[in-house]
Structure 1
Amino acid sequence: MTEAIAPGLLPEGLADRLPPKAEASARLVREVLDTVASYGYRRVMPALAEFEETLVARLQSARAEDLLRAVDPLSQRSLAIRPDMTAQIGRIAATRMAATPRPLRLCYGGPVMKLRADQLRPERERMQVGAEIIGTDSVAAAVEIVNVAIEALQRAGVSGITIDFTLPDLVTMLADGPMPLPQGDVEAVRDSLDAKDAGSLAALGEAARPYLALIEATGPFHPAMERLQAFNAGPAKGKLDNLIAALRAIAKPIGWDITLTLDPTERHGFEYQSWFGFSVFAEGFIGEIGRGGSYAVAGADGKAEPAMGFSLYPDPLIDAGFGTTAAQRAFLPIGHDGARAAALRVEGWVTIAALDEADDPLALGCGAILDGTELRRL
């Protein structure tokens, strides 16, 4: 016999958000989306679940076995709850908004769910907020996306922001050009560079050894860029001229209060990005709170469409108190002046109306009481 589930118990990795964190979550998401909307991004609200085969076809960074699935009793087809909203934005852009002029700017916010949690975050359900430009992955689009992400976080009260740039297809570009590798070694070189494992990289042989210099081109942005420039002038034979110019253009307008770093061979989590990617970190938080970059959207006709975007995962910020505000709460006794109460709400007060003569304003969290037409502090 199955043991009864205790009242209030939720599945592992799922949790309720209670006041004031639920309010803080809504406020922080709204702050980010309002910032993004001011740059011309229009909000879309994708469905929570889709047919599994449709979703899997567009998920480039998640495997089918990572999806939480169920059988739809109406269609008798397998459904999957979204683990990421970016794939859904690609579907909407390629189908229902295929005729909308490009570049198409869209934004979104909502919960996503994974079958399993990762090591840094035990939650299987988390909030995702982001923005995408469909139709271009140009340097100008990268400049806009990075700076919109920064401004959205700053307006939400986040400080100590670090942006870490990466070049996801760098090894492929070099292996196909000035630094050829045996076909079977390309993935091994990528993995060694991603892990910063100089020993395993050197053990791959003579063709892989020039790639060791890329491990040194990691760290604070300007020194790392100098090392990358030296690498470009040497083993890369100038192949990286355009990428280096693009990175400098993206970094140029970013404020002095933002820390910039470079990890040109970072691949974990950027498997589906193309020429450019970035991670977002904030002081006092373990792990990244967002990431973005360039990628391709599969069109309805099978042709790939370039895109650029970012996603933020604000749950750690909410847990740390971001988005929380101390609202002024006023108690309205039975028979209060309705017009005066309405005026208080316009002024920014939260009003708590008595439903019974025994209601206690202090127990209800009120710091003032409406006495006639006057507000009296408690």
Structure 2
Amino acid sequence: MRKQSNLLPEGFHDALPPYAEAASRLERDVLDTLASHGYARVTPPLAEYEDGLTDRMRGASSSDLMRFVDPISQRTLALRPDMTMQIGRIASTSLADRPRPLRLSYSGQVLKLRSGQLQPERSRLQIGAELIGNDSVIAASEIVSVAIEALERAGVSGITVDFTMPDLIDILAAGPLPLNEAQIAEVRGELDMKDAGGLNAMGATGYLPLIEATGPFDEAMVKLRRFDMDGLLNSRLDGVAQIAESIRGKARLTLDPTERHGFEYQNWFGFTLYADTFVGALGRGGSYEIGHSDGETEAAVGFSLYPNPLINAGFGAKTNDQIFLPLSHDRSAATRLREAGWRTVAALSDKDQAKALGCSHILNGDQPEPL
């Protein structure tokens, strides 16, 4: 019977070989990709004052914060559920005087108070990049392209980019299709479920065409432009179309203009990253605003990857040959082998067995010999 003291809380687990190493290698591959495009790494702390985090969450649910009292300050701290808001804080304070556009990358564990059915982990790795000071079509195109390249560097293929327009309903509700706040929330819910009957029942029939304007990008964009007879959305549609064109051929393109899940603080543009054989999203991104202490805001665009599904599937794992070093082996030969990329496992006693220790070769003189 297992001791209770050895159990981990629900949603937490140990990373064991080879998955822990795969995670580190995948993290390095993605961060190296970001660095190659000029994104400088920052590392914010795991916990911050609760009020500071909630002030910057801007639409995201603060009910997902794990809180505790700091015994030093006696103030409530919270463990970060997302790193993007912390990057915004760094950009608006410590790096406020740096020239724009400011390119930053980051990686670390984030913690959710509750887990979901598709993502049972409460602690997961988040890796991302933020381009601060510009949310133009060119900036957004760079972010989407870099996100695709980072996934490809990690070994992912069959990538799909699903575009959305997070503030679309707000624009329509304030203009040609008026809704009050309560109705906006209800219409969003019906559109999330693609429930035409629900929209009919509440009298929001003007929003029905948006359900049809979902699917393969080119077809959905034609339907969305047809819906936009007054040209209210022209600039946004043109912008999203230009971003899509910039990555055409690199990924499959789809459009779901009313998708809001995970886009609580984005504005004119958002995207979700999917890949063949994986259930659920591997990452999300889009445009948003960073608030400054003087009340001013700053445009930004970025993305976050959540690579746990990739790690669990073995992405990032390497099958380097491992060589067993007998007692009294040639140490200079072992050094040369390690420099050439081999992994060596040295015997500590004459009872050690090469195969039992996971080795594929044994050092014979100064040469590796297959087992």
Q: Which moved more, 1:330-339 or 1:68-77?
A: 330-339
Confirm or deny that 1:215 pairs with 2:235. no
Residue in structure 2 matched with residue 22 of structure 1 by the alignment: 20
Confirm or deny that 1:321 pairs with 2:307. no
Name the amino acid aligned to 1:340. A
CA contact (8 A) 1:294 1:309 kept: yes
- Mapping of residues 1-378 of structure 1, within 5 Å: 5-182=3-180, 184-205=182-203, 208-232=204-228, 234=229, 237-256=230-249, 258-378=251-371
Deviation at 1:255, TM superposition (A): 4.1
Instruction: For residues 229-263 of structure 1, give each alpha carbon's deviation from its aligned partner in whole angstroms, at most 9, with x where no partner exists.
Output: 1111x2xx011111111111101121425211100
- TM-score for both structures, normalised by structure 1: 0.94
Instruction: For residues 58-79 of structure 1, give each alpha carbon's deviation from its aligned partner in whole angstroms, at most 9, with x where no partner exists.
Output: 1235433321112211111111
How far apart are the structure 2 equivalents of 1:327 and 1:352? 13
CA contact (8 A) 1:160 1:257 kept: no
CA contact (8 A) 2:65 2:78 kept: yes
CA contact (8 A) 2:21 2:317 kept: yes
CA contact (8 A) 1:161 1:282 kept: yes
How far apart are the structure 2 equivalents of 1:136 and 1:111? 27
Name the amino acid aligned to 2:261. H
- Size of the aligned set, in residue pairs, is 370
How far apart are the structure 2 equivalents of 1:189 and 1:291? 23
Deviation at 1:372, TM superposition (A): 2.4
How far apart are the structure 1 equivalents of 2:256 and 2:316? 31
| Distance change >3 Å, CA 65–CA 182, structure 1 → 2 | closer
How far apart are the structure 1 equivalents of 2:57 and 2:328? 58
Name the amino acid aligned to 1:92. I
Instruction: For residues 20-76 of structure 1, give each alpha carbon's deviation from its aligned partner in whole angstroms, at most 9, with x where no partner exists.
Output: 011111111111111111100011111011111111111235433321112211111
- TM-score for both structures, normalised by structure 2: 0.96
Deviation at 1:292, TM superposition (A): 0.6
Instruction: For residues 189-228 of structure 1, give each alpha carbon's deviation from its aligned partner in whole angstroms, at most 9, with x where no partner exists.
Output: 22222221212212333xx322211111111101001101
CA contact (8 A) 1:61 1:269 kept: no
Deviation at 1:179, TM superposition (A): 3.2
Instruction: For residues 273-310 of structure 1, give each alpha carbon's deviation from its aligned partner in whole angstroms, at most 9, with x where no partner exists.
Output: 10001111111111111111011111132211111010
Deviation at 1:322, TM superposition (A): 1.1
Name the amino acid aligned to 2:211. I
Name the amino acid aligned to 2:67. R
| Distance change >3 Å, CA 187–CA 328, structure 1 → 2 | same
Q: Which moved more, 1:119-128 or 1:185-194?
A: 185-194
Deviation at 1:178, TM superposition (A): 3.2
How far apart are the structure 1 equivalents of 2:83 and 2:181? 34
Deviation at 1:110, TM superposition (A): 1.1
Deviation at 1:364, TM superposition (A): 1.0
Deviation at 1:119, TM superposition (A): 2.1
CA contact (8 A) 2:162 2:253 kept: yes
Q: Which moved more, 1:290-299 or 1:353-362?
A: 353-362
How far apart are the structure 2 equivalents of 1:66 and 1:171? 25
